[in-house]
Chains A and B, each alone.
Chain A
Amino acid sequence: MIVSPLNEIVEKEIEARKPQCVRCCVAAGCLSSGSQGVLDALHKAVDTAESGSKIEVSGVGCLGLCSQGPLVQADPDSKLYTNVTPESASAVVADMLGRPVESPLPPQADLNHPFFTGQHPIVLENSGRINPERIEEYVAADGYQALYRALRDMSPTDVVTEVTASGLRGRGGAGYPTGLKWSLVAKTPSVKKYIICNADEGDPGAFMDRSVLESDPHRVLEGMAIAGYALGASQGFIYVRGEYPLAITRLQTAIKQARRLGVLGAQIFDSSFDFRIDLRIGAGAFVCGEETALMASIEGKRGIPQARPPYPAERGLWGQPTLINNVETFANIAPILRKGACWFNSIGTQTSKGTKVFALAGKVRNTGLIEVPMGTPLRTIAEVMGGGTPDGSAIKAVQTGGPSGGCIPVDLLDTPVDYESLAAIGSIMGSGGMIIMDSGNNMVDVARYFMEFCMEESCGKCIPCRAGTVQIHRLLTRIKNGDADGSDLVKLEALCDMVKHTSLCGLGQSAPNPVLSTLHYFREDYLALIAKPGTFPLLSLEATASAGQGETDGSNHA
């Protein structure tokens, strides 16, 4: 079904399409590897080859395989070139035209590799296909149809019912059923309601949301507008990290274009529904990913969490009922309405529906973004799609959920990725960061790294988190330096338990997770550093100091 008001744009777009297309990734990963120069070179090569009418050059969002950027895709032959340089760009164009290639072609990625074939793109379906800075291309890819259909054919209750039936759960980490959250806000009577998109992707090692915003910003806007209609809100905010300047620019462009086209603003599609979206730019505080802290930050205050209840659905931004969903959650809304709840429901596992985008990074051969159906085993992601470690050594652990998650040992890699299974083995789904570690990574050091992060990011409001994270960090430092004895492990466990159960917000409650999971699965890493269990700390301090001295001397001589 093609929407009539947008019909003209779709037809024009299709008409303007050229037989061949060369797409260059201009998302942040490839841009830092110099893809702007490659895009310029492609433009130049096409212009000089006087093939302008045959080849279309387009800057697109993320093509997935970030570690081998800049990436260039040549269609319709579906060739994905990696590590493209401005010099080799002309060879790509010559090859497309079937002309003799003067300079060597850049290396080509194998699109039959499981990294590509194992994916199931829903959230990322437009990523790498459309130019994120042109609303017309989004419209031509069925964009804003779901919004049109919702406004024309569905009542707000119908929309909430559809989202509930899809089984979609929050992609921010906790996995709260989205439909339930929506219906809570819809049920709360109020003249003013707000929709907030949480794009404060603070987990170190996670870059899915950034990529969605950079590659397909309109999809998020459409999801938010649908939510606005379903819940009776006319104002939305996107709270985006200040560290993501490109995502901010693309969102600003997208909002402006959407307003001009009339899919945001007053009387959308000639209905009585008004919806505007404003950007709020974060200022570098991890705790602002917590919903009450995020709302405080939107209100221009310090990002300090509040005790819940009242939940935002009841009393949120400026005391009004507020819906807060993650970027990826909103990105799922339009496809659900377009293709139906049953379709979405058929993907995934019993309790976790749909797909999940993961940012695969660390000691893994194929670094980048992947979208897989829920229930895919971790081993498939890390070893088959990711290709294992770069030097072929064994994977030691897979870390999910960032500083709130845990380290999963290699013998549990057959665990399927869904909310319950990951929680059962002491980690969490999290927002989607997945870091692969090998034997070179000491788990005490990893735990200490995450604790340092939480310690610095603690807002300081509640004592268990403010003081507890400092003490846990001190204990971990002592263990790492070999100054600890057996009693310190007991202290560490007790302290983690206290911080976990008594902190005010999610940051403190989940801060001990990396320590607890490494203590559970990699206890030998801890015990190896506690050389003489039960010895007086000062003694072992001297012992390690002299041992360390000896080592340095030894290496100097060698």
Chain B
Amino acid sequence: MTTAASDHNPDVASHPSGDNRFKILEATMKKHQHRPDALIEVLHTAQELFGYLETDLLLHIAHSLKLPLSRVYGVATFYHFFSLKPRGKHTCVVCLGTACYVKGAANLLAAIERDTGIHSGETTTDGSLSLLTARCLGACGIAPAAVYDGNVEGHQSAENVLNRVKEWHENDSLTSK
């Protein structure tokens, strides 16, 4: 990768690739002194910056931390938090923790799955919505809970989950017109 050249000279004004997100990533690695044990922290930053972990990005990180790609790929695929595929424009996370489950979270999930035709962990073909599940958000007091684009909301019903998804869809089609 061309970006590897900058590893030896982090003080350049802009990143040679033209993508300054690499600069922030580089700063994170530098903060951890490029230690291999910082791999998970670096992957967190990378995902935050780029949205998901592309193979080229994993290669770049492996090279910078002087780790075999197998190790980087192994870690990236082991933890649920890391996504190797791009996410949709909006994400809806349904909590399937015990408290939510006994209060009917499975029905929420089934309703969205039926409505959108995608399963948990998938993204709609038009890239507008990713449907995910979580193993307890710790929001058990307001179960069942769901997360819409990062905002946790409690006491959800199948009806208002579908409404939220529909709202996104309508707003997006308005802006695209």
A interface, CB within 8 angstroms of B? 28-29, 31-33, 65-67, 69, 201-207, 210-211, 242-244, 280-286, 297-303, 359, 361-363, 367-368, 399, 402, 433, 435, 437, 441, 446, 449-450, 453, 457, 459
Contacts and interface: CB of A to CB of B under 8 A. Distances in A.
A329 B153 CA distance: 30
Nearest to B154: A32
A435 B138 contact: no
26 contacts: A29-B142, A32-B139, A32-B145, A32-B153, A65-B141, A67-B141, A67-B142, A203-B136, A204-B135, A204-B136, A206-B136, A206-B138, A242-B44, A243-B136, A281-B41, A283-B44, A283-B81, A284-B79, A285-B80, A300-B38, A361-B140, A362-B103, A433-B140, A435-B102, A449-B101, A457-B135
A202 B135 contact: yes
A281 B135 contact: no
B40 A69 contact: no
Nearest to A208: B138
A400 to B, nearest CB: 11
A359 B138 CA distance: 9
A300 B39 contact: yes
B152 interface: yes
A437 B81 CA distance: 30
Contacts of A433: 98, 140
A285 B140 contact: no
Given A66-B142, A243-B138, A362 B80 contact: no
A203 B136 CA distance: 8
Interface in B81-134: 81-82, 96-99, 101-103, 134
A80 to B, nearest CB: 15
Nearest to B47: A283
B74 interface: yes
Given A206-B140, A297-B40, A453-B135, 19 more contacts: A28-B139, A202-B135, A203-B136, A205-B98, A206-B138, A282-B81, A283-B81, A286-B135, A300-B35, A300-B40, A300-B41, A300-B75, A301-B71, A303-B78, A303-B79, A361-B98, A362-B98, A363-B102, A433-B98
A243 B134 contact: yes
The 4 tightest CB contacts between A and B, nearest first, are: A66-B141, A205-B98, A283-B79, A284-B80
Contacts, number: 135
B92 to A, nearest CB: 15
Contacts of B38: 300
A204 B96 contact: yes
A29 B101 CA distance: 17
A363 B154 CA distance: 15
B102 A362 contact: yes
Nearest to B141: A66
B51 interface: no
B141 A367 contact: yes
Contacts of A441: 102
A116 B141 CA distance: 16
A243 B140 contact: no
Contacts of B135: 202, 204, 284, 286, 453, 457
Nearest to B43: A283
A7 to B, nearest CB: 36
Contacts of A402: 98
Contacts of A281: 40-41, 44
Contacts of A299: 37
Contacts of B99: 204-205, 361-362, 367, 435
A33 B154 CA distance: 7
A191 B62 CA distance: 31
A202 B141 CA distance: 16
B140 A359 contact: yes
B37 A300 contact: yes
B161 interface: no
Candidate in B43, B98, B142 with the most chain A CB atoms within 10 angstroms: B98
B143 interface: yes
Contact of B81 (A204, A207, A242, A244): A242
Nearest to A214: B138
B136 A205 contact: yes
Candidate in A201, A362, A457 with the most chain B CB atoms within 10 angstroms: A362
Contacts of B138: 28, 201, 206-207, 210-211, 243-244
Contacts of A453: 135
A367 B37 contact: no
Given A204-B97, A285-B79, A29 B139 contact: yes
Contacts of B39: 300-301
Contacts of A201: 138
A399 B141 CA distance: 16
Given A280-B40, A283-B40, A285-B80, A367 B140 contact: yes
Candidate in A282, A301, A437, A446 with the most chain B CB atoms within 10 angstroms: A301
